[in-house]
Amino acid sequence: MDLQQQLDQFPSISLKEMDEVALINRIDTKYIFHANILDDILNSLVKEYSILNIEGTKMHLYETLYFDDGNLNLYLNHHNQRGSRYKLRLRRYGSSSISFIEVKAKTNKGRTIKSRKKTAQFEKSLHPDQLTFFREVTQEEQGEWQCSTCINFNRITLVSLNPPERMTLDLNLQFLDDKNNVKFENIIVAEVKQGSKAPSAFINEMKTRRIQPSSISKYCLGLSLLRPTLKQNLFKKQQLLIKNIQNRA
């Protein structure tokens, strides 16, 4: 059975229905594993989740432009393990042709809070209204942001309404900047998004397979791989893990 046939086994959920579990303020739990076990994992979840279906498409292209200041302080805040931090990005959802400008903040209590709004532009240079949005949400009135990296991937989104949960599976990760391009074709990055800790069929599946949660930021991982001269001691364990999984038969 190919991947599309597997995805077709899941009941569908629309974007509008998924708004019931938007989980803008949430707890995130992430995992990394090799693509060769994706089939078995999907088979174990068919009875527990619905799949996001947009006009017949169940695996969606995501294109993301990340922004930072001239000293890459948003990257460094994460590297230096600052409790409260945030990422700035433009994201285009390929299946719906919709773009959002987003601020993804991490609190010192471990929660993720996302602020976003639709935007008509998806470019490496911020438009004035986009810059205003970043400044208003971050309260950094003098913030000067520039595009630091681009991350592309395909995403499968699974949804549980009871308890409320969204679970994403990111495939075909690609990190790019003006000079370099790094791809991971055998890697799956999974993320469970919950309003509060609750039973999760996917987390139980990870426990059964003895796959431990991983603290991973795609932005920081990508930037550290694209720019090896950056301070990156905190991310070397992530780099080694993802490279070892990528090269696994």
Read off the pLDDT of residues 5-57 as tens digits, 9 standing for 90 and up. 999 999 999 988 887 766 667 788 999 999 999 999 999 999 999 999 988 99
Check whether 232 has a pLDDT greater than 70: yes
Alpha carbon 164 to its chain's center: 18
Q: Where are the alpha helices (DSSP H) in 21-79?
A: 38-45, 73-79
Q: Which of 101, 137, 140, 138 is nearest to 121 (CA)?
A: 101
CATH code of the domain covering residue 64 = 3.20.100.30
Task: For residue 177, give its domain range.
Answer: 3-246
Q: What is the mean pLDDT of the chain?
A: 91
Secondary structure letter of residue 231 according to DSSP: -
pTM reported for the whole predicted model: 0.91
Q: Which of 101, 177, 109 is nearest to 138 (CA)?
A: 101
- Looking at residues 184-208, what average pLDDT do you find? 91
Domain count of the fold of the chain: 1
Cα–Cα distance measured from residue 35 to residue 39, given in angstroms and rounded to the nearest whole number: 8
